[in-house]
Amino acid sequence: MRTPHPIRLISFGYLHLPTGPDGSPVPPAADRIEDVRDRLRDPAAARDILDLDGFHPRVQDVVLNTPGARELLANLADYAELPAGPRRIAIGCAGGRHRACSLTELLARALRDRGREVEVEHLHAHLQARPQDARRHQHRQPQARR
């Protein structure tokens, strides 16, 4: 039986990405990009974890217990196991510090538990989001073409 190729997981924050010609953030290249900004509640609202990052067990617990998080992780883990599965999955939230970092770490653990070789890259987990960044990069809905 052939061993599946390694999978690379990338966490990032939309507030820290470069922008394209249309002003939209340009996420890292991946076979699947999961944007959790509108999908999962921002745990940074819980003041007791504001200064922590997604590597911390308390933050991971808060994220994992957010409605929809367990289902998303199960979906991503199943997706990674497809026969011609992805080589890269990127998970992004606003700042890349809490949701994206936690989910990436939790997904890496789940895939390793399934025997997969996993590489992890956190692009922005160490950065603090600044209020001016949040205003500049508010989540933009695609514009309808005329």
**pLDDT tens string 23-34:** 999 999 999 999
pLDDT tens for 33-70 read: 999 999 998 887 777 888 899 999 999 999 999 999 99
What is the value of pTM for the model shown?
0.85
54 vs 106: CA distance, rounded Å: 9
53 vs 57: CA distance, rounded Å: 9
Distances (CA, A) of 13 to 38, 114, 126: 13, 27, 10
